[in-house]
Homo-oligomer: A and B are copies of this chain.
Amino acid sequence: MIIRPENIIGNEFSAKGESTFRSYNPSLNQEIDATYYIATAEEVEQACILAQKASKPYFQIGVKKRTDFLNKVIFYIQENQAELLRWFVQESGLNEARAKLELDRTIFQIKTYAVSAEKLYSTLNSEAADPPIHSIKREYFPLGPIAVFGASNFPFAYSTAGGDTASALAAGCPVIVKGHPLHPITGHLVAQCIQKAAIDTGMPEGVFSYLNSNAIQVGQQLVLNEAVKGVGFTGSIKGGRAIFDLAAKRETLIPVFAEMGSVNPVFISKKSLKQGNSWAEEYAKSITLGVGQFCTSPGLIFGLNSGEFDDFANRLNHLLETTDEQVMLGSSIKENFTQGLTKIGVELDATSSPNAIKPTMKVIEAKEFLNNSDFAEEYFGSFCVLVKCTDLEEVESCAQFLKGQLTCSLIAQEDELKEMSDLIYTLKSKCGRLIFNGVSTGVAVHPFQQHGGPYPASTDSRFTAVGDDAIMRWVRPIAVQNAF
């Protein structure tokens, strides 16, 4: 593949603007020699017009041909795997093993959503009413063009050909991706794979477009364009809320699914603390996985104040301290992380590379936690706050103090659960996924997965960004009455 500077608009490449930006290697802290033309308002409009025109033929070709298209996307991603992995590593600061894992996950997701869509569109729900006045069947209909805002932290799995794009395309919706500025080469090359697959398989032009962008205007124009019928976003609370607020100003309201922030609190029981060493090791790994740049990274651990808790904290601290320094996705991410931690009095150790961090943690008492909501915020990076509680009542108060979460975790023995029923209810009331005796990082693509949660974890807790039902964000039921 060729690294090209233009926007991808339907079957064409387009560079009508003058503003550009360049890719950047966070490990080397230097620009990469690849320039991108930021999409102009005219180009955004053109992508939207094409997507709108493509909606009908893309729906009418049927789910089997859409699956052929998605399989061809997989083919091109696999064919260009070596190149994609190389640029992923250069642009993200993440290593090749992670890149490969994420690429495999991306392919698995595309396959899963194609299968989900085949099920959805082949199952016609039909039942006679009682009394049999009407015969009503249920069909599904795609919402129409979807704007996808990829994530900084998943250049493959939650960006250009990631979960939102794949689920929307599988559902029968054209997709316009706003490329993420932290991985423009990776994003653009994946976009070229999708464009080639669309042309190869005879998809209607406009079923996919990809717009270069390093600021907010392109996204704003997309969200406000009346041709766009839904939005998928993965990123910060600030970004997701801004998009929701903007969409709420449209004349025609549309669904906005933003998967945003989460601190992923962990509650560890008395007996489990006695197994402290093994859990400390599990959590050290989970906290530092992907430099803590996961929406499911555990950021808070609660336990009863005890010698065992101190042992657990000391062990975890040791493991974090002895972890090698890690390069973050970009300088802005490091800056946000550093500034955030300053608010709660944590200063990061110096590192040899400017975009790197040393993993760290902080131990506080429940009273401090309950008196300062900053401790309940997400700090995106390898970091965790440990909270010592005097009794189960204080644990419960801390749980109730939390905002909506993607995940909550409970590390406990079976015989302890009875006295924890209040806590379990509270955790369920807060999250989309409750994990027993495991870490929250690693979100399986699973028929019953729920990756979302009460606000601010997502903008709509009834939908999921991961798992078979991710496609349900982009379709609506139609009741067909008295059909022939």
Interface residue ranges, A against B (CB under 8 Å) = 55-56, 59-60, 125-127, 129, 133-134, 136-139, 141, 143-144, 241, 244-245, 248, 252-255, 403-404, 414, 417, 425, 428-429, 431-438, 442, 444, 446-450, 454-456, 459-462, 464, 467, 469, 472-473, 475-484
Contact = CB atoms under 8 A, between A and B. Distances in A.
A271 to B, nearest CB: 14
B127 A447 contact: yes
A448 B479 contact: yes
B481 A125 contact: no
A428 B464 contact: no
Contact of A448 (B125, B456, B459, B467): B125
Contacts of A481: 433-436, 438
Contacts of A479: 432-434, 446, 448-450, 467
B446 A478 contact: no
A461 B143 contact: yes
B417 A129 contact: no
Nearest to A458: B253
Given A455-B252, A464-B477, A436 B482 contact: yes
A46 to B, nearest CB: 21
Given A245-B248, A255-B460, A129 B444 contact: yes
A191 B469 CA distance: 38
A244 B255 contact: no
A432 B484 contact: no
A218 B126 CA distance: 42
Contacts of A455: 252-254
A342 to B, nearest CB: 24
Contacts of A472: 462
Given A141-B429, A447-B127, A417 B484 contact: yes
**Which of A432, A448, A473 is packed against the most chain B CB atoms within 10 Å?**
A448
A455 B252 CA distance: 6
Contacts of A133: 442, 444
A190 B436 CA distance: 44
A218 B442 CA distance: 45
Given A253-B460, A462-B472, A462-B473, 16 more contacts: A125-B447, A137-B448, A138-B450, A141-B429, A143-B461, A144-B429, A252-B403, A253-B456, A433-B478, A435-B482, A436-B484, A438-B482, A450-B477, A450-B479, A462-B475, A467-B479
15 contacts: A125-B448, A136-B448, A244-B253, A245-B248, A252-B404, A252-B455, A253-B459, A253-B460, A255-B460, A436-B481, A436-B483, A437-B482, A448-B479, A461-B476, A462-B475
A449 B478 CA distance: 8
A416 to B, nearest CB: 10
B253 A448 contact: no
Contacts of A444: 129, 133-134, 136
A389 to B, nearest CB: 21
Query: Considering the complex of A and B, which 6 residue pairs feature the smallest CB-CB distances, nearest first?
Result: A450-B479, A138-B448, A248-B248, A461-B476, A433-B479, A435-B481
A475 B428 CA distance: 12
A182 to B, nearest CB: 26
A438 B134 contact: yes
A255 B459 CA distance: 9
Nearest to A253: B455
Nearest to A475: B462
Nearest to A460: B255
Contacts of A446: 127, 129, 134, 136, 479
A55 B454 CA distance: 15
Contact of A484 (B414, B425, B431, B464): B414
A449 B139 CA distance: 11
A185 B402 CA distance: 42
Nearest to A248: B248
A67 B332 CA distance: 54
